[in-house]
Amino acid sequence: MSIQYRLNIHRLIRDLGGPSALARSTGHPRTSFYRWLKSEVVTSRVLEDVKTAFPDIDLNFYFEPIEVRSAVAHSCVDKGMAPRTIERPLSRAEQNHIKSYHEE
């Protein structure tokens, strides 16, 4: 098993006030942050502007360790759905994924 890190985008956006508040603080459209949530891909330019708008934020706090088998480390793990290794509340997307996983 190897440990990789995943950025908890949902928690980051929630802690900073949501997409609308981030849009007002950074000057980017709200859709940029909704796109982050949907695709779970963060653009570096917008992340730089978030750090500029919130200079005291510790981005390392939002990186969570996940355990991944070395054979499936990059290509086979669903986005953010690898086994959780830290205690935290499940996001709504994770709760829905768990429900749908058990129903299958």
Encoded tokens for 103? 């129903």
Q: What is the pLDDT of residue 27?
A: 93
For residues 76 and 96, give the distance between their C-alpha atoms in angstroms, rounded to a whole number. Answer: 20
Mean pLDDT of 82-104: 58
Q: What is the pLDDT of residue 87?
A: 60
Q: What is the pLDDT of residue 16?
A: 92
> Band of the pLDDT at 86, cuts 50, 70, 90?
low
> Band of the pLDDT at 92, cuts 50, 70, 90?
confident
**Among 49, 72, 58, 54, CA closest to 8:** 58
> Is the four-CA dihedral 51, 32, 86, 3 of positive or negative sign?
negative
pLDDT per position as a tens digit, 27-80: 999 999 999 889 888 889 999 999 999 999 999 999 988 876 554 445 445 555
Q: What is the pLDDT of residue 102?
A: 45
> Band of the pLDDT at 100, cuts 50, 70, 90?
very low
CA torsion angle 35 70 64 39 (round to 10)? 10
